Amino acid sequence: MHIDWWTLALQTVNVLILVWLLSRFFFRPVMAIVAKRQEEADRLLADAESARNQAEASRAGAEHARLDVANQRQVLIDQAKEDAKTERARLVEQSSLAITKMREEAAADLQRQQANAQQALIEHAQTLSLDIARRLLGRLPGEAGLPCFLEGLCERARSLSPEAREGLKSKGGKSGDCVVVTASVLSDDEQRLVHDMISKALGFDLPLAFRHDPALIAGLELHGPTTVLRNTWRSDLDRIREELLRGPPDRAA
């Protein structure tokens, strides 16, 4: 095989020139373009990474906001439950107080009605008793009941304390200080009888004045400066009425 060294040398020079030309006019612009594209690609990747980071931050912020909303919602729900519980307790208490007040008012009203009914019944009974007493008195002679009532009054006079008797005695120096009140007008003989029996019961002479009051129905009263003795149907009926109004005694007491 014969090698043409000149031809080989020329071809080598041609190749070197071609490589230089390519390097000078082709590879450098291409490398510049590639570098520029690489730079743009890097910038795009950086922008994409920044956008991804921003999106991640936004997602994290949205998640945090969602958690805050959920927490606030739960707080509002818990507060609403607590408020509802408090309001229900308040309404129950108000209802209980209203019911208690209604019961107390109903009981008080019933008690008032019972008291009014009892009062009306007692007043009716008293009126009836007075009417019966007057009718019974009308069937008796005028002087028949005086000795009985006078004896009862003298019995009470005998039971007076020494101080009360002394008070009657010291104040009874003249007629008018002590007064005997009767249901009807007494005759002179009846007045003398009353004076003698009362003076005897007290143990000393007691000057008396006399007047009458039909409201007593029957009997007589002795009115002194500080002492009053009664023995009349009206006082008995009043005492019975007071006992009825007072009611039955308390067994627990």
pLDDT at 210: 93
pLDDT at 174: 54
Integer Cα distance of 236 and 230 in angstroms: 9
Residue that wins the pLDDT comparison between 196 and 92: 196
**pLDDT band (50, 70, 90) for residue 125:** low
pLDDT at 172: 44
Contacts (Cβ under 8 Å, ≥6 apart) of 205: 199
Q: Is residue 110 part of a domain?
A: no
Q: Is residue 159 part of a domain?
A: yes
Q: What is the 3-state secondary structure (H, E, C) of the chain?
A: CCCCHHHHHHHHHHHHHHHHHHHHHHHHHHHHHHHHHHHHHHHHHHHHHHHHHHHHHHHHHHHHHHHHHHHHHHHHHHHHHHHHHHHHHHHHHHHHHHHHHHHHHHHHHHHHHHHHHHHHHHHHHHHHHHHHHHHHHHHCCCCCCHHHHHHHHHHHHHCCCHHHHHHHHHHCCCCCCCEEEECCCCCHHHHHHHHHHHHHHHCCCCCCEEEECHHHCCEEEEECCCCEEEEEHHHHHHHHHHHHHHCCCCCCC
The CATH number of residue 199's host domain is 3.30.2320
pLDDT digits (tens, 9 = 90+) for 146-196: 888 899 899 999 999 888 888 787 554 454 578 999 988 889 999 999 999
Q: Is residue 155 part of a domain?
A: yes
Contact (CB, 8 A) for 212 and 241: no
Phi and psi, residue 247, nearest 5° = 85, 180
Residue 184's CB is within 10 A of a number of other CB atoms, namely 18
Q: Is residue 164 part of a domain?
A: yes
pLDDT at 25: 67
pTM of the model as a whole = 0.44
**pLDDT band (50, 70, 90) for residue 129:** low
* Residue whose C-alpha is closest to residue 153's, from 185, 195, 186: 195
Q: Is residue 47 part of a domain?
A: no
Strand partners, 231: 220
Residue 204's CB is within 10 A of a number of other CB atoms, namely 11
Q: Which residue range(s) make up the domain with 225?
A: 143-246
Q: What's the domain count of the chain?
A: 1
Integer Cα distance of 34 and 155 in angstroms: 150
Integer Cα distance of 221 and 235 in angstroms: 10
pLDDT at 20: 77
